[in-house]
Amino acid sequence: MSAPKTIPKDAQVMMQILKDMGVTEYEPRVINQMLEFTYRYVTTIIEDAKIYATHAKKSNVDADDIKLAIQCRMDQSFTSPPPRDFLLEVARQKNQTPLPLIKPYTGPRLPPDRYCLTAPNYRLKSIQKKVSSSAGRITVPRISVGAVSSRPSTPTLGTPSVQSVSTKVGAPVSLTGQRFTVQIPSASQTATTKPTTPSTPAVSNVLINQSLIGSKNILITTNMVSQSTGGDSLKRKHEDDDDYDAL
């Protein structure tokens, strides 16, 4: 494939412009960049001008439309710094106030928090379920597999097996950005034998961020709230799908 021997005309024009403006050394890609900019700019202006012409119910685009388009675009994208007299006036006002005294022993001197970037830019998503009537019980649903099924409205009677909780918690978990659900085989599941578990569920699905301090993790796992009524079956569906993710 032979490269074209002659440079296209508009590239030649651009080279001439660069020469006229005194730019003698430049990388070859500069021509392409300048041409792209030119095309984009001219296209934008002409499109704007067409809009203005149709707005004024003219059939053709004329010089006034182009002038208006250029002016509007200038005020929007290619703004220039404020004029000198304005700056001098602003400076005069600003410079009249005396320099503020510095309070000693104030630690890192930063502006008020709303002007800093030190606030966390994430929010913890925690799903709280209604607490079951039997207090002090920690129940955790099994990770559900398969379709969502109906939920019995009776509260669970599963007795918490604390050991598994603690072991689960104690295990070195890599908490990096993963869902954390604890599964306890509920010993005394009466009614349903479906794999999809009954009720309960208080899953505290939290998206654990790396910077969360360790102690908080422990707190979450033991705070499982059980119980849910049929009322929020819809919500539960969501969560089950979320549980899915953890796998």
Partner 1 sequence: MAAVQGGMVDAKDETDIKKEPTSDGFGNNHANDARVLTASPGSSAAAGNNKPAAGAPEEQQTLLAVLQFLRKNKLSESAEILRREAGLPEEVLDPKGSDSTGSGQGGSTEVDGEDASSLLSRVTLPTPGGAKAPSKAGEDQPDVNVVLSAYSQQGDPALYEVYYSGLKKFIESVLDCHRAELSQVFYPLFVHMYLELVYNNHESEAKAFFEKFSGDQECYYEEDLRILSSLTKKEHMRGNETLLDFRTSKFVLRISRDSYQLLKRHLQERQNNQIWNIIQEHLYIDIFDGMLRSKSQIDAMSGSLAGEAKREANKAKVYYGLLKEPEIELPLDDEDEEADNEEGKPKKKKPKKDSTGSKSKKQDPNAPSQTRIPLPELKDSDKLDKIMYLKESTKRVRLGPDNLPSICFYTFLNAYQGLTAVDMTDDSSLIAGGFADSTVRVWSVTPKKLRKVKTAADLNLIDKESDDVLERIMDDKTASESKCLHGHSGPVYGISFSPDRNYVLSSSEDGTVRLWSLLTFTCLVGYKGHNYPVWDTQFSPYGYYFVSGGHDRVARLWATDHHQPLRIFAGHLADVTCTRFHPNANYVATGSSDRTIRLWDVLTGNCVRIFTGHKGPIHALAFSPNGKFLASGATDGRVLLWDIGHGLMVGELKGHTDTIYSLRFSRDGEILASGSMDNTVRLWDAMKAFDDLETDDFTAATGHIHLQDNSQELLLGTYMTKSTPVIHLHFTRRNLLLAAGAYNP
Question: Would you say 98 or 136 has its CB closer to partner 1?
Answer: 98
Q: Which residues pair with 207 in a beta bridge?
A: 179
* Among 4, 6, 9, 22, interactor with partner 1 by CB under 8 A: 22
Question: Would you say 119 or 247 has its CB closer to partner 1?
Answer: 119
Distance (Å, whole) CA 40 – CA 57 = 26
Say whether residue 74 binds partner 1 (CB under 8 A).
yes
Question: Would you say 140 or 206 has its CB closer to partner 1?
Answer: 206
Number of residues located near partner 1, criterion CB under 8 A: 39
Cβ atoms of 200 and 228 closer than 8 Å: yes
Say whether residue 172 binds partner 1 (CB under 8 A).
no
Instruction: Kindly state the tokens that stand for 242.
Output: 């979320």
Question: Would you say 117 or 247 has its CB closer to partner 1?
Answer: 117
Q: Is the dihedral of CA 130, 134, 136, 140 positive or negative?
A: negative
179 — phi, psi (to 5°)?
Answer: -70, 145
* Among 7, 13, 42, 88, interactor with partner 1 by CB under 8 A: 88
The SS3 of residue 157 is coil
Q: State the DSSP code for 194.
A: -
Q: Which residues bind partner 1 (CB under 8 A)?
A: 20-22, 74, 78-85, 87-88, 90-91, 94-95, 97, 99-102, 104-105, 108-112, 115-118, 211, 213-216
